[in-house]
Structure 1
């Protein structure tokens, strides 16, 4: 077992680092594919009187406040918000709100987006956010992943559309919120946006009547295809050779895991399969990139368990405690296959589309929203989430032994990402949605 410092590989190469069903399955199905306003054109421009420019829609995005907005230390929620505002910065006037922490300005404007960091002290986050928004007068209030916060802001702004943007089931579940309170929150907001049909269905299970109100929508997440490039491109091939040489992986077959080290992520299943994998593919190694907490190397009982399991295959398992998201493409570049053995309620799984964009085949469990991303035996493999140990090892061995199959899956994965999972498409669907709900229509 080896532990590498949380240092980007690029630093070594000189690179810069039975329920009622909705009428439509997703926004892609419910909305016309052409949003009407090209990204970069101001919202409201069409139909404005000659010589006049309608002002941009004011969109307030309220983050959970767990992490600093616009910083290297962030969860997937902050990542998604960053990509959305980057794509639509010329089409809407965004204000991203979070908590104030030491070392960060209370307000700044970067790349056309306002960042407001609020000091709460002894007051509630919801109250301080409401006070800030009253002065700005937004057209839409979008609350990220916190049902109670969305309800509080709707009570403060009854005349403004409030959208709850859900990223996971975590804050829809105990101990974060009781079932009756969740139903009340979902009922009070104007719209609910989810990132998968799986999560949409979870919302419906709480209150099926929501379908009749046309307020629960799906918008699949995306990936920056200019950053996550296919490994077979000439420049990427050179980088791959440099990285594999630097880590003495030139003759290895690399299994990669990227994510938090939590029991629900199923990392232990990969480690339990490693003795068999190593016996059948002696050149196989496993690289585990991530930690139990974002931006932290804190050791937990589960992480200690993983390290003990790694000792069963000495020299075959390498831990990377934490890597900033901006450096993740480099780790995909040196790998041969990505393993995503989550057996919890994974709403989407952004790491899957990022890997597919680089041409990496993915072996994942058939659970949550991942079945909406990965096509079994086309872009990778989907395995049983109940007993993943039966299928995980054989699926990984099959790919490690067959570079041609990896390439076939990888090319299909890249094509699927370009067709369905880009941030540009994600942003266009949001813009169309904003325009519809501010015009008084039903999305």
Structure 2
């Protein structure tokens, strides 16, 4: 089958930022892909591409974080792609939008939290979506019982499939491949020769790690080799310090034992801290669906102390793989149960071994995938009971005419029942045909509108282009006109200047000629006076000097004139 798995809008798949649902999906995919063509639709993340195909699985990522934005993206994607079965995870409010865009697909819903509570979904919408889904898979009996108590009509569709864990990655600390990791972590954090208690989860009031911290002073009086590791942050990869986190830190500073706060640990390295620990403690105060850390602790061979909240006790076999705290609001109850395990090394060892045994035999991903495949197979035969009262009345009236007046007696007749079914199928077929026809018309209109819009925009672009070219041409012409005008003015000015210059030059030449003539006359008079009574040789010498002086004076005068 062609299958779409729709994750939640909060965190991406694969679980690069953590997340129980994201880990669940990634755990089962390698097994499911062998039998079906699978697409995973989830929220986007800067570290991941919007589309990719890995090992034959198609990943599509759309904007998320806010449900309303994510829902729109889901509707758009489902509308443009066809699937035989759509599996929605923990978002019942996506069922109706998905059904409206994929009327023929089978829908399976997986529930990991109390999302059917009245404050989370309108009862009318809940009842409507329960008719649309073929099966509801829950991670614990607790979640299933909550749904059934609110909506008894859903009972036949609810099925618990417990989650799983990677038993090849989460291994006991004494395993050959984990020994050096355990030793390195303990050495680096001052945990050598210590009995290490581990908490793993979000640091919030409903997860209740403060109850464990407040139990330590009582425990440390009896057990001198204790250490505490708190693994987690406010919200997965967010390292923000809240009032609650500040409160837990202030409590931890007063403790007489080593306390290691790791902050957010990448999902790929969580198993190392489980291997470094000796006992796992879950302190949930709220009705926890069933925290997946229980499976991880079991696979790592750790005894478990957990709370009687929600689905947590469902995986605990008392005194075999762990103990359950009935009053988790009281720190002394944690001290009592943790002390009971720590004081009995044989019990502690056996609990760890039993936990590992349960993880290997019951909580592997291939078992989870196998049960999901059964659900998908059963969904193929699901038929929605959607023949409304009006249709029933119409069928009965028509059959009444065909079979006579004694209709009530004939209702028992098999042939009559078969005719009702046949008529119902025909009506359904007709209705489906009409819906397809209307959908086709709608799509055709939409396509036509899109084409017309494209043509309009192309025309507008062309028109805009022409106007731009016209404006550009006019601008160039104005520029050219200005240049030509300037050139003409320059030429006119140049011509006038040249005429004036020529005129001035003629007058100056005339003036210079007159002055030269006058000067020559003066010089001749002076010469005649000086030559009186002079010899021939003296006259010759004097003439030479005068000529030289005349040339120099003329040159000087010419320079001045220029």
Residue 342 of structure 1: aligned partner: 284
Verify: 1:202 aligned to 2:142, yes or no.
no
Question: Structure 2 matches for 1:1-400, cutoff 5 A?
Answer: 57-119=1-63, 124-169=69-114, 171-173=115-117, 175-211=119-155, 214-385=156-327, 387-400=329-342
For residue 186 of structure 1, report the CA deviation from its aligned partner: 3.5
CA separation of 1:106 and 1:319: change in aligned 2, threshold 3 A: same
- Higher Rg of the two aligned structures: 2
Greater helix share, 1 or 2? 2
CA distance in structure 2 between the partners assigned to 1:398 and 1:306 by the alignment: 25
TM-score between both structures, scaled by the size of structure 2? 0.65
For residue 235 of structure 1, report the CA deviation from its aligned partner: 3.0
CA contact (8 A) 1:183 1:206 kept: no
Name which of 401, 419, 426 aligns with 2:361. Answer: 419
CA distance in structure 2 between the partners assigned to 1:241 and 1:102 by the alignment: 35
CA distance in structure 1 between the partners assigned to 2:182 and 2:215 by the alignment: 26
CA separation of 1:398 and 1:63: change in aligned 2, threshold 3 A: same
SS at match of 1:69: coil
CA contact (8 A) 1:73 1:324 kept: yes
CA distance in structure 2 between the partners assigned to 1:410 and 1:99 by the alignment: 37
CA separation of 1:63 and 1:360: change in aligned 2, threshold 3 A: same
For residue 265 of structure 1, report the CA deviation from its aligned partner: 1.1
Per-residue CA distance 1:256-286 (angstroms, 9 max, x = gap) = 0000111111111101101111111121111
CA distance in structure 1 between the partners assigned to 2:302 and 2:67 by the alignment: 48
SS at match of 1:198: helix
For residue 310 of structure 1, report the CA deviation from its aligned partner: 1.2
CA contact (8 A) 1:337 1:362 kept: yes
CA separation of 1:123 and 1:378: change in aligned 2, threshold 3 A: closer
Per-residue CA distance 1:321-363 (angstroms, 9 max, x = gap) = 1001211111011111000011211111110011111110000
SS at match of 1:272: helix
CA separation of 1:182 and 1:299: change in aligned 2, threshold 3 A: farther
Gaps of 5+ in 1: 1-56
For residue 119 of structure 1, report the CA deviation from its aligned partner: 4.5
For residue 315 of structure 1, report the CA deviation from its aligned partner: 4.7
CA contact (8 A) 1:341 1:388 kept: no
Gaps of 5+ in 2: 385-562
CA distance in structure 2 between the partners assigned to 1:291 and 1:58 by the alignment: 38
CA distance in structure 2 between the partners assigned to 1:102 and 1:229 by the alignment: 32
For residue 383 of structure 1, report the CA deviation from its aligned partner: 1.2
For residue 237 of structure 1, report the CA deviation from its aligned partner: 3.0
CA separation of 1:179 and 1:135: change in aligned 2, threshold 3 A: closer
CA separation of 1:244 and 1:404: change in aligned 2, threshold 3 A: farther
CA distance in structure 2 between the partners assigned to 1:87 and 1:280 by the alignment: 48
CA separation of 1:282 and 1:366: change in aligned 2, threshold 3 A: same
CA distance in structure 1 between the partners assigned to 2:241 and 2:12 by the alignment: 23
For residue 100 of structure 1, report the CA deviation from its aligned partner: 3.3
What's the C-alpha RMSD, in Å, of the aligned pairs?
A: 2.2
CA separation of 1:438 and 1:342: change in aligned 2, threshold 3 A: same
For residue 187 of structure 1, report the CA deviation from its aligned partner: 4.3
Per-residue CA distance 1:406-435 (angstroms, 9 max, x = gap) = 210011111112221111100011112112
CA separation of 1:326 and 1:102: change in aligned 2, threshold 3 A: closer
TM-score between both structures, scaled by the size of structure 1? 0.81
Residue 521 of structure 2: aligned partner: none
CA contact (8 A) 2:220 2:256 kept: no
Residue 6 of structure 1: aligned partner: none
Per-residue CA distance 1:192-220 (angstroms, 9 max, x = gap) = 11011111001111101212xx2111111
